[in-house]
Structure 1
Amino acid sequence: MSSNANSLPAWLQQQAQRQPRGIALRHKHLGVWQVRRWATLDAEVRALAAALAAHGFAAGAELLVLSRPRPEALLLALAAQWLGGAAALLDPLDAGEAQVGLLRELNPDFVFAEGLDELLRVQRAGLRPALLLYAEGRGLSEWQGSATQAYAALLATPAASQFEAQARGAEVAFVFYRQTAQGGLERHTLSHAELLDEGQRLVRAEGLGAGEEALAARAFAAAGQARYLLAPWLIAGFRLNFPESLETRDRDRRELGPSLLLGTRETYGRLYAQALQRMPLPGSLARRLLDWALADRPGLLRASLGHWLLRRPLRDVLGFSRTRVPLLVGAPLAAEAQRFFAALGVAPRAWPLAESWQAAPPRRAETTWPRGQEPLMEPSR
């Protein structure tokens, strides 16, 4: 693939040209995996970019994304980058009141809030963005004002013109914000060039190709996901899968059996705890057999029995049946958890997560709704 692709949208274009019918994204919805192919993805991002531009989004602007992993969040981020802007990612699983304060401090012009809970946070912050998008309309009544749109409605907006990708390598692709203990605002940025450099390094080191299956399970708003999942996905052209929900992620992982798994200390620690709950009690005959079979440097008999009686069933239960590239970002695992996964043959390999937090530049003047004129949104009755 051409080395001239110096931005994430440029790699999306190249994958659409290289394998237009190849599966790029899958999202489980109502128990069924929904498929998007590379050519479809490229066309959808182009349409979203044109629609965002029609609402005033331009180079240097930021689209604030408050969402769990789902295709709409990713495609809107790519559309913002297509226009030379950036996606500012916030995790909806963060503490609500603290995030409301952060939203109020950021006072964004363009917002994608996944569903009811996220829209309520935007409302509590008293924001008045120029464009407020949402994906899940269930349980919502209409907002007052024309600035609020469903993702599907934005995508269906007729575009006066199409834009070629304007992103450049040195420009910021993703932004992450946090408030300090003293009440200040800090941000961490990732440029297209930085993401592609680290993504290519991972692709080469792990031998990633278009046949991989990866699962984006928990946090979309994480620098590790951008570095070691989203960028490699665009470079290698493999399939990226989104679970139906946080509650179904383990079942969806078992069904999928991803070859590439990206997790944190908390991710692998939770799976380790699940495995321990399924294992026989310490001291029992079954547990002694398990410990014997999972011992370091087993002989041929132990290795064979351990694989068929223990390793294979445990890997299936955890959703690691086909995992060959288990990656760990951030803090290292506890020693006992690392030994356990190593014995299963899926020892997580650590990749660095260097973050450079700096004081955020001053934000624009606050433009919240006047008291008594806030947008109304109530759950449907």
Structure 2
Amino acid sequence: MSIGSVDGSLPGLLRQQAASRGDHIAMREKEFGIWQRITWSEYERRVRHFALGLRELGLEKGDRIAMVGDNRPEWVIAELAAQSLGALPLGLYQDAVAAELEYLLGASGARVVVAEDQEQVDKVLEIREALPRLEYIIYYDPRGLGPYAAPGLLAFPEVERRGAERDQAMPHEYAASVATVRGEDPALLCSTSGTTSKPKLAVLSHANLLSMADQLQEVDPMTAGDEFVSFLPLAWIGEQMMTVSRHVLVGFPVNFPEEPGTVRQDLREIGPRVMFSPPRIWENLVSEVQVMVEDTTPLKRRVQAWAMRVGGDTADDAFEGRSSGAWRRVRRGIAEVVAMRPIKNQLGLTRLRDAYTGGAALGPDVFRFFHALGVNLKQIYGQTEVAGISALHRDGDIRYQTVGEPLPGTDIKVAEDGEILTRGPVVFEGYFENPEATRETLVDGWLHSGDAGYFDGEGHLVVVDRLKDVMLLADGTTFSPQFIENLLKFSPYVSEAVVFGGEHPYVAGIIAIDFENAGQWAERHQLAYTTFTDLSQKGEVYDLVKAHVESVNADVPEAARIRRFLLLHKELHADDAELTRTRKVRRRFIAERFEPLIAALYGDDDSVAVDMEITYQDGRTANVKHDLRIERLSGAG
């Protein structure tokens, strides 16, 4: 198999896996506490029957079908079934509000939506009148849907039943359909993160997806005996590349947790060998460990602190290419037994061989933490438009300030203005029905990423920030807001941070506390509070966060130190358009929405009044009026 040029299609590879490894486990899904197994033969049969059921409904080559819900076998079955007909599947985030679904379903012109349950069906029904092309809604969790009588509403098994009847009547139709699907054919519509505008729909071919999987396989081989747990949204390209592309290429089992709340327990039970998550997941794990340690006995805290110092020394040796001495290796072994292994077991990472982070930059403190713990965490770099990955750390050559080297078969260069450009078989076909955006992004075969970066002396790619977000401070210092924000988020009490500089005379920031962790801290210190806003404005919480901001200031150049900050009265949330669904900060939107707060950070007052409308989870709205304290830091310039 040549690097970056896999022949065939995703459903074609599924048929090959079923033919050669039919009785082996392809998937597991946990139901009522028991792992239910699906073999490759059963998997292929269900894809075949669902595809032919879709054909019975009139789905044709080039039509679009959308999936929305938690990670379940039915999602992947629907996706591969659509691809086997030459139709284009589109994944939607399960927590997307109805307006977001309306935009993406309208932009794609989807004829069919495969929805997990009553919650997702209700959202689609709410917007159906605005979607004249939508004909069918297919659900696979029937609870609560018995009384529903909407036109075109069908159960997933019913579509499979119709497909099975068609398969019996025309036994060669499916194989003939799969045979017509070529590597260069469109395979997937994947929405971009939408950090600066509304999401666009990237068109990825089978060759794009499989080339990426093949190149990744060349660098970090997986085997059919490895385990993978699929718990991140399948609408995200990072999950697609593991749960679908690499899965059908390599043939390893994919495991679906029972519920989002059982992921940690399910990870412990399965013991995955590979895990790929965006930075927020790794940041949450660090916070969890930090809070867990704080809640234990003084003796255990001292043991943990010693073990992390030992692990950090070993990690630094590896980062800098030094060989650890015998005594240091002995100490590392003791630390592993008394502290590291129990923590990794608690997190479900005991058997992990390769861990990846991507989608955004990961702070150096978080990166070092996991290497100190003994987790082989590697940074990847890529975008939706390159099927997920274009650069990756190699084992034995990991540096937390870089994203590694380009994958074999992929070319990366840095333009004169500092923009990172990518070329190769992983680069997408263009944006769906958006030729203008395609022309702006694809120029002479090179993908313009919009990211600023450079290559270091060892050939590693360093990603600085979004090109539009890189700023010059008043003294001419180059400033990356994302770098400072990642340092701030290393605190377990900070959920999100957005810092500003550039045209301003100094650096200032808006910080959102981590409500759960800060709440636990408040309870341990017998600090009473009622709401998020009440807790965020406590003087003790300000002092807690201020101490962390001061520690960050000590590690950055003087011109980049934070001079003033405030604690936001609310969480930053994707439902309020402040974050993308992959939890990337939408900086320009925040700058507009919180313009009075930002202006106050650069004024002389010690507080600022806010009067904002807040939308609660149940749909209720309320006006919130508060005075937010502005903290001034000494010695920051």
The two structures have a TM-score, normalised by structure 1, of 0.88
Q: Report which stretch shifted further, 177-186 or 67-76.
A: 177-186
2:156 to 146, 151, 157: 151
1:342 to 371, 389, 406: 371
1:7 has 2:2 as partner: no
- Other-structure match for 2:26: 24
Would the alpha carbon gap of residues 348 and 182 (structure 1) be closer, same or farther in structure 2, given more than 3 Å must change?
closer
What is the alpha-carbon distance in structure 2 between the residues aligned to residue 179 and residue 264 of structure 1?
13
2:174 to 155, 163, 170: 163
Percent of aligned pairs with the same amino acid: 27
2:300 to 286, 297, 316: 286
- Other-structure match for 1:65: 67
Does the CA-based 8 Å contact 2:192-2:384 persist in structure 1?
no
| Runs of 5+ consecutive residues of structure 2 not aligned to the other structure | 315-326, 386-427, 435-637
Q: Deviations over 1:186-238 (max 9, x none)?
A: 21122110110110111221121001000111211111112244211111110
Q: Report which stretch shifted further, 91-100 or 154-163.
A: 91-100
Q: Report which stretch shifted further, 198-207 or 316-325.
A: 198-207
Would the alpha carbon gap of residues 148 and 346 (structure 1) be closer, same or farther in structure 2, given more than 3 Å must change?
same
The 5 Å alignment of 1:264-275 reads 264-275=278-289
The 5 Å alignment of 1:1-381 reads 5-126=7-128, 127=131, 129-157=134-162, 158-159=165-166, 160-161=169-170, 162-164=173-175, 165=178, 166-177=180-191, 186-280=200-294, 284-294=298-308, 295=310, 296-297=313-314, 299-356=328-385, 360-361=432-433
Does the CA-based 8 Å contact 2:60-2:85 persist in structure 1?
yes
Would the alpha carbon gap of residues 139 and 31 (structure 1) be closer, same or farther in structure 2, given more than 3 Å must change?
same
Does the CA-based 8 Å contact 1:5-1:11 persist in structure 2?
no
Would the alpha carbon gap of residues 328 and 229 (structure 1) be closer, same or farther in structure 2, given more than 3 Å must change?
farther
Does the CA-based 8 Å contact 2:63-2:110 persist in structure 1?
no
Q: How many residues align?
A: 362
Does the CA-based 8 Å contact 1:103-1:122 persist in structure 2?
no
Q: Report which stretch shifted further, 175-184 or 232-241.
A: 175-184
What is the alpha-carbon distance in structure 1 between the residues aligned to residue 366 and residue 195 of structure 2?
32
What is the alpha-carbon distance in structure 2 between the residues aligned to residue 286 and residue 180 of structure 1?
44
Does the CA-based 8 Å contact 1:195-1:227 persist in structure 2?
yes
Give the Å deviation of 1:185: 6.5
Would the alpha carbon gap of residues 293 and 183 (structure 1) be closer, same or farther in structure 2, given more than 3 Å must change?
closer
Q: Report which stretch shifted further, 282-291 or 210-219.
A: 282-291
Give the Å deviation of 1:5: 4.3
| Runs of 5+ consecutive residues of structure 1 not aligned to the other structure | 363-381
Does the CA-based 8 Å contact 1:338-1:347 persist in structure 2?
no
Give the Å deviation of 1:354: 1.9
What is the alpha-carbon distance in structure 1 between the residues aligned to residue 196 and residue 298 of structure 2?
53
What is the alpha-carbon distance in structure 1 between the residues aligned to residue 269 and residue 96 of structure 2?
28
Q: Report which stretch shifted further, 136-145 or 49-58.
A: 136-145
Paired AA for residue 217 in structure 1: F
Paired AA for residue 194 in structure 1: N
Does the CA-based 8 Å contact 1:84-1:168 persist in structure 2?
no
Partner of 1:247, secondary structure, is helix
What is the alpha-carbon distance in structure 1 between the residues aligned to residue 39 and residue 345 of structure 2?
28
What is the alpha-carbon distance in structure 2 between the residues aligned to residue 167 and residue 300 of structure 1?
53
What is the alpha-carbon distance in structure 2 between the residues aligned to residue 185 and residue 361 of structure 1?
13
Does the CA-based 8 Å contact 1:27-1:34 persist in structure 2?
yes
Paired AA for residue 63 in structure 2: A
Larger Rg: 2
What is the alpha-carbon distance in structure 1 between the residues aligned to residue 196 and residue 356 of structure 2?
34
What is the alpha-carbon distance in structure 2 between the residues aligned to residue 7 and residue 284 of structure 1?
57
Partner of 2:60, secondary structure, is coil
Would the alpha carbon gap of residues 258 and 359 (structure 1) be closer, same or farther in structure 2, given more than 3 Å must change?
closer
Q: Report which stretch shifted further, 227-236 or 131-140.
A: 227-236
Does the CA-based 8 Å contact 1:210-1:237 persist in structure 2?
yes
Does the CA-based 8 Å contact 2:62-2:86 persist in structure 1?
yes
Give the Å deviation of 1:80: 0.2
Q: Deviations over 1:318-368 (max 9, x none)?
A: 000111111212112222211111012213212222234966428xxxxxx
Does the CA-based 8 Å contact 1:185-1:360 persist in structure 2?
no
Would the alpha carbon gap of residues 241 and 185 (structure 1) be closer, same or farther in structure 2, given more than 3 Å must change?
closer
Paired AA for residue 153 in structure 1: E
Does the CA-based 8 Å contact 1:265-1:330 persist in structure 2?
yes
Q: Report which stretch shifted further, 305-314 or 324-333.
A: 324-333
Give the Å deviation of 1:172: 1.6
Does the CA-based 8 Å contact 1:185-1:359 persist in structure 2?
no
Q: Which structure is higher in RCO with an 8 Å CA cutoff and minimum separation 6? A: 1
Partner of 1:175, secondary structure, is strand
What is the alpha-carbon distance in structure 2 between the residues aligned to residue 35 and residue 251 of structure 1?
18
Would the alpha carbon gap of residues 65 and 278 (structure 1) be closer, same or farther in structure 2, given more than 3 Å must change?
same
Partner of 2:302, secondary structure, is helix
Does the CA-based 8 Å contact 1:215-1:243 persist in structure 2?
yes
Give the Å deviation of 1:146: 5.0
